[in-house]
Every structure is written in structure tokens, then in C-alpha cells.
Amino acid sequence: MFVAASSECFPHLSMDDMLERLVDLQFTALELAVHEQGGHLKPSEVHEDVDRAIDLCRSTRRLTLGALSIDIQAEGEEYYKQFASCCKLAKATKVVALTVPAAELGTPFNAEVERLRELSAIASFEGAVVAVKTETGRVTQDPDTTKVLCDNVKGLAVTLDPSHFIFGPHQGGNYDHIFPYVANVHLRDTSKEALQVRVGQGEIEYGRLVNQLTRSGYKRALTVNMQEAEGIDHMAEMRKMRLLLESLLL
């Protein structure tokens, strides 16, 4: 395992400034948000010019590109075309894990299975893996449903965000049974009252989490995914999180 940071930690900065901040914080690996809204690269831009996107992703100031987070706003066939272009980007930059959001609650289960099957087939062709993110307000807010999705979609993995199993409708519930499917992890500190709190003031059991991942054979990133908060030194919090996670991997 290794520690990485998501570009979502600095959504309002340019690509260059975001990379500079992460280097200053001594991160060595990056998950890049390829989001139509709020990302440092848009899926529509990737689809329009894949070669340009590849060049951008190879200029990461010595940061290793470890994963992509992909959020596409297009619909119909255009949705899958843009995703296919993102998979070509992943292959060219040697990225395997592609985080995607699950469907919103209320989406028919069979429709979500079909969407994820199509995405997984496209990704597999380029040597990548689709990892659906656990998130409140989406079908993956329940770990049991998440496991059933993985069991019904060949090759589907999970981006585990344990914060949504502490703050949210599943708070306090067990999610150990989805560890074998994990291909990426998003981390911040969380309490039952707030999705993000200062590092050390929440209820994430980082040591137990790392032990569970180790037992499952997980060898990928622990990705810091923290948002700026008023009155809190964001850089200091990210540095504390990096040091905490690295201490558990020694």
C-alpha cells in the first residue's frame, strides 16, 4: 500500500497549482479527478483530444498517477464514448483503478447492473478496473447492495469511502464483507455528526482499516480526499493525514 492524494482536495486551483501544493505536502502519488463539474480535466475534453489529455497527465511533477476518478454528465451513447476515451487515457498513463459514482437512490437495480456491466467491459478492454464508490444518497450507501452489485457485474470493484458508513444512514453498520472487492480507498476523518472533521477528532479506525485491507491482499492507494473548511488550515490537516497513514504502513 501507498499514500496518495486526490486532486479533489484542491478543486479551485489550476492543475499546475494543485500539483505544486501536493508536492509541497510531500505526497508522491495522485488520483486525478476527471469530472465534468469541478474536475481538473473534463471527460468531454478527454474525448475531444485524448493525446492532449495524455500529455497533461504525464506532466505531474514527479507525482505518480495512481488512479482516475471519472464523473461524466453526458447521456446515452455519448456517455459510453467519453468513458471509453477516459479508459484510453488510463491505459496510456498506466492507471488501473477508475473510480465512478454509483447511480442515485431510486434507480432500478437492473438498470444500474447493466450500466456497470457496460463500463466494466469497456474498461477491461483497456486493462482497467471500474471501482464504484461507496457514497450516501447512492445505491452503494448500503454495503450489502454494494456486494450484490459486485457479485452481479464481472470484474466490478469498489472504491471504499468509509466516511459514508459512519456519517449517514448506515452509521455503525458492518462493511467487512466488501473488503475483498476494494480497488481504491478515499479517506478523511469523520464523526457521526459530520462527514469531515479535523484529523484525530473522528471515528475512522485507521489501524483496523489498514489491517483489514492487508488481510484482503490490498496493495493500492490510501487516497486522502479532504475538502477545505472555513477556519481550518487545510494544508496542515492534509499533512497530518499523510503522516498518520504513512506511520501505519511502516
- Give the global pTM: 0.94
When pLDDT is cut at 50, 70 and 90, the band that residue 103 belongs to is very high
Q: What percent of the chain has pLDDT over 70?
A: 100
Taking each helix axis from N to C end, the angle separating 143-152 and 109-125, rounded to the nearest 10 degrees, works out to 60
Residue 168 has pLDDT above 90, yes or no: no
Give the residues across from 184 on adjacent strands: 159
* pLDDT tens digits, 177-215: 999 999 999 999 999 999 999 999 999 999 999 999 999
Question: Which contiguous run of DSSP H or E holds residue 227?
Answer: none
The pLDDT of residue 8 is above 90: yes
Angle at CA 111, nearest 5°, toward 85 and 177? 90
136 with 166: CB under 8 angstroms? no
Predicted local distance difference test score (pLDDT) of residue 62: 86
Report which of 58, 2, 1 is spatially closest to residue 32, judged by C-alpha positions.
Answer: 58
| Residue 171 pLDDT class (50, 70, 90 cuts) | confident
Give mean pLDDT, residues 140-162. Answer: 96
Domain boundaries, the chain: 2-248
Q: What percent of the chain has pLDDT over 90?
A: 93
Angle at which helix 76-92 crosses helix 50-57, to 10 degrees, equals 40
What is the largest distance, in Å, between two alpha-carbon atoms of the chain? 46
Instruction: Give the residue-averaged pLDDT of 12-40.
Output: 95
Q: How confident is the model at residue 118 (pLDDT cuts 50, 70, 90)?
A: very high
Over residues 49-56, the mean pLDDT reads 95
Give the sign of the dihedral formed by CA 172, CA 216, CA 139, CA 35.
positive
Residue 152 has pLDDT above 90, yes or no: yes
Per-residue confidence (pLDDT) for residue 13, from 0 to 100: 94
Average pLDDT, the chain: 95
Fold entry, domain 2-248? TIM Barrel (3.20.20)
Cell of 31: 488520483
Q: Are 123 and 132 in contact (CB under 8 A)?
A: no
216-246 pLDDT, tens digit each: 999 999 999 999 988 899 999 999 999 999 9
- The closest of 83, 72, 82, 145 to 112, measured between CA atoms, is 145
Cell of 235: 494544508
